[in-house]
Chains A and B, each alone.
Chain A
Amino acid sequence: MATSDCPHCGYGNPISAQFCVQCGTIIAGQKPPSVSSGESANEPDARDDDQESAPPLNGEEGPEQQPSTASSDPDFSESRPQLAAAEDETDEDSDGQGAVRGPSQAGPLLRGIGGLLEPADPLSYIMSGSGANEPTVDRPIAPSAELAADEEERRDLRRLFSEELPTAVGAVPEIVASVAEPSQNGDGLQRRFWLEVILLLGMAGALLWWAPGPPGGAGPHALPGLQQAHRQVDTLQPNSLVLVNWAYDPATAGEMDLVAQPIVEHLLQRQAKLIVFSQLPGGPATARRVIARAEASLQRPSRTQITANLVIEGGYLPGGSASIPLLGVAPARALPVDPTWVDLRERFRIAELGEAGPALTVVIAARAEDVRRWLEQVQPLNGGTVIAATSAVVDPSVRPYLHSGQLAGLVSGWDGGGAYVRRLERARSVEEQARSLRHAGGLNWGVGILIVAVLLGNLAGLTERRTP
């Protein structure tokens, strides 16, 4: 049967095929078939003799030959011996003494199972031919002086394939000139190690030895939105339903815990009924830890109220953008997803969400996308009041939502959390105060070192620019 090799994956398709059955590439109107099994089937013995007497050298394949999956797959080769034989015979006939295979003549870079699971390795392919990545192919590998790329060529090829910007068609990349030439602005990157070490040492030193001032100073700076967020929580009635979207996990807990804990503590003080869920796998466990800390820091009788189960664990809600609108139209169907913690009485409370909606929604997020997703896909459906507790870096991205009124409050960053703690009107423990002061000292030292580094870098840049 005549076949036509796919220009992308090299698979031998039937000549009448419009698309490659291996990768789906359009092959209608391609070149005539490169292999005809009918021709080779007439002389299989001759092909075997040729192969035994003169095994093809590594890479000695004709320019017409495309490394097909059929030839690389042992099962395929076994089931179609004539086809495999014909391919080898065609190769030897076409290239004669073995033309050198260049990158432009190389076969597909992605091969194997669908071309997806096996990463492309252009170097090994170019060096050793089509079967380089196929350990099951019984192909003798002979060293060839023409084909064996030395280490210098490997470096050049590696650099060529790692170029971010594509080389213009027909242009020859200047490999030699740019390999050895040092980058003019590369010194800064080489000094990055020392900058990181100095930053770490500076902040660790501030944590260990910096003598904090007496408490009661100016305190962390409160950005606009914090007061509104505090007021929203402070005006909640006892047993109000509050939906908490816990959108961070341990990866960002170092910062986000400082923002989330005071708000959760405030909600528990107000004896609100929290329904906590997360769309991150690590979210529920993180929420458990922070809520337990907030619960432990509460004074009685608020802690007694928590024993009446003020917190309902909604668990993990997968699906991302596809599932979150369900919380706006039918939250009782979306929550809870973990029946272990939820009894029948609480299920009725969750069902109330669908009727009246939550009294307040708190989005605790380390990424702006999570806040935006809630405001775009849930709030227009239930029209609820939303406050956000975010990472510091998220603040500029979500602040327009505060100005437009879609967010009723915004607390961001360590400074936002610190300012919120000061509004809780509770006596902070000595350990908590010490930790806060340590954090402030470390942050100040880190920022100071970074500013000095930026100034020195700019100074060095100006000096070097003026130097001929």
Chain B
Amino acid sequence: MSPFSNGLPGVMQDAGLILGLAVSLMIGSYIVRDSFLARLGQYVLVGAGLGYTVVLVWRNVLWPRLFAPLIADPMSWQSVSVTGLLNLWLPLLLGVLMWGGGLELLRRPPARPGGRSLLRLLAAVPAAILGGVVLGVAVSGAVQGTLWPQLSAAVATADGPGRADQPTWLIRFLTLIITGGVLIHLQLGPNAGAAGNGPSSPGSTSSEGPRAAGAGRPKLFRTVFLMLLRLWEGIGRRALWLAAGIIFARLVAARFSLTLSRLDYLLFEIPRSDLWQLVWASLRGGGP
């Protein structure tokens, strides 16, 4: 048997089912109005979730990976290698510093000015290491995992052979039109191309806008240029809205699936449970 096959006993599963029903109804009563039961259900859910997380962290990480090895060999720091020191004692030291900073926030303000600044300063060391690692990993990952591969894929799609029913020039043209249009919309806003309106982006430094830029040009040329710019921006704006619509449609599908799952659980799974059958039979007076 795999560890995943070991479920709870049937009675416990039914009890969990009924408890889930009760909490679901409590939280679901929010749709009628914000009540004590709705709040209680949310608090129970959040509190139980936090408690479960604490137990899980202790059971999976802190005890087997840190405290158990340290307790098994408390003098390991004398003979352990550099790797062992980095794996056990350094995390313990950083953790203690972090916990000190956290506990410091819970106590009263010190009678002596400056008494808490030391703890706060020390707690900043592990926090800075953690933040630096996360930031470094995120930046390097974004470059090597998203920016460069996506750019390469876009170039390859535009340059590569198209399918039999998709000529290459069409793909290149659409890529240029949509990408450029979105960039124009994001940079200039919906007023792009409007005569007399300058750039609307907050970062713009031009004070006179296209009026000054096109002051010396023939009027016809300037009018055509602005019209094309407005047309291009409109294509980009509609492309953005199309993408937003697709995301919204998938969001609706996801949330409807969640709602249907809850409804299915309430309407079909609960009545099938043994405990519910027992309660129902008792209520009807027929006995189990």
Contacts and interface: CB of A to CB of B under 8 A. Distances in A.
Interface of A: 11, 13-14, 21-22, 69, 73, 75-76, 79, 113-114, 116-117, 193, 196-197, 199-200, 203-204, 207-208, 252-255, 257-258, 281-282, 284, 287-289, 291-292, 295, 306-307, 309-311, 313, 315-316, 318, 320-322, 325, 337-341, 372-373, 375-377, 379-380, 391-397, 400-401, 403-406, 412-415, 435, 438-439, 442-443, 446-447, 450
Contacts of B117: 21
10 contacts: A21-B113, A113-B106, A254-B261, A288-B3, A311-B3, A380-B144, A392-B250, A392-B254, A394-B250, A396-B250
A252 B153 contact: no
A62 B258 CA distance: 57
A376 B264 CA distance: 37
Contacts of A204: 263, 267
Contacts of A404: 149-150, 152-153
Contacts of A435: 264, 268
A337 B253 contact: no
A386 to B, nearest CB: 11
A73 B258 contact: no
B2 A414 contact: no
Interface of B: 1-5, 7, 31, 49, 52-53, 56-57, 59-61, 64-65, 105-109, 111, 113-114, 116-117, 130, 133-134, 137-138, 141-142, 144-146, 149-150, 152-153, 157, 243, 246-247, 250-265, 267-268
Given A376-B142, A404-B153, A311 B4 contact: yes
B133 A322 contact: yes
A229 B59 CA distance: 35
B113 A254 contact: no
A207 B4 contact: no
Contacts of A321: 134, 137-138, 141
Given A75-B111, A438-B264, 20 more contacts: A73-B108, A79-B111, A117-B105, A117-B106, A254-B258, A255-B258, A255-B261, A281-B49, A306-B5, A316-B61, A376-B142, A377-B137, A391-B254, A403-B153, A404-B150, A405-B149, A412-B250, A438-B260, A446-B256, A450-B252
B252 A447 contact: yes
Contacts of B130: 322
B250 A393 contact: yes
Contact of B60 (A288, A338, A393, A450): A338
A208 to B, nearest CB: 6
Contacts of B4: 287-288, 291-292, 295, 311, 313
A377 B145 contact: yes
A458 B38 CA distance: 33
Contacts of A113: 105-109
A116 B116 CA distance: 14
Given A116-B105, A203-B259, A413-B253, A310 B137 contact: no
Given A254-B257, A292-B4, A295-B4, A14 B264 contact: no
B105 A114 contact: yes
Given A14-B113, A113-B109, A404-B153, A315 B60 contact: yes
Contacts of B251: 392-393
Contacts of A397: 247
A203 B247 contact: no
Contacts of A196: 31
Contacts of B259: 199-200, 203, 254, 446
A291 B256 CA distance: 24
A interface secondary structure, majority:
helix
Contacts of B49: 281-282
Contacts of A309: 2
B153 A320 contact: no
B45 to A, nearest CB: 10
A383 B268 CA distance: 45
Nearest to B144: A380
A338 B60 CA distance: 5
A406 B156 CA distance: 14
Contact of B146 (A73, A255, A288, A375): A375
Contacts of A258: 257, 261
Nearest to A377: B141
B31 to A, nearest CB: 6
Contacts, number: 206
A78 to B, nearest CB: 9
Which 10 A-B pairs give the minimum distances between C-beta atoms? A376-B145, A254-B261, A376-B141, A404-B153, A255-B257, A291-B4, A392-B254, A281-B53, A377-B141, A393-B254
Nearest to B3: A341
Contacts of A315: 60
Most buried by B among A11, A79, A289, A396: A396
B153 A322 contact: no
B220 to A, nearest CB: 37
B60 A337 contact: yes
B265 to A, nearest CB: 8
Most buried by B among A13, A257, A393: A393
A207 B2 contact: no
A316 B56 contact: yes
B114 A21 contact: yes
Given A321-B134, A376-B146, A307 B1 contact: yes
Contacts of A114: 105, 116
A392 B134 contact: no
Nearest to B53: A281
A116 B258 CA distance: 36
Nearest to A284: B56
A405 B253 CA distance: 26
A403 B256 contact: no
Contacts of B108: 73, 75, 113
Of the listed residues B60, B61, B64, B116, the one surrounded by the most CB atoms of chain A closer than 10 A to its CB is: B60
A313 B4 CA distance: 8
Contacts of A14: 113
B53 A400 contact: no
A203 B253 contact: no
Contacts of B3: 288, 311, 313, 340-341
Nearest to A438: B264
A117 B253 CA distance: 39
A315 B88 CA distance: 20
B141 to A, nearest CB: 3
A380 B142 CA distance: 11
Contacts of B268: 207, 435, 438
Contact of A447 (B57, B105, B113, B256): B256
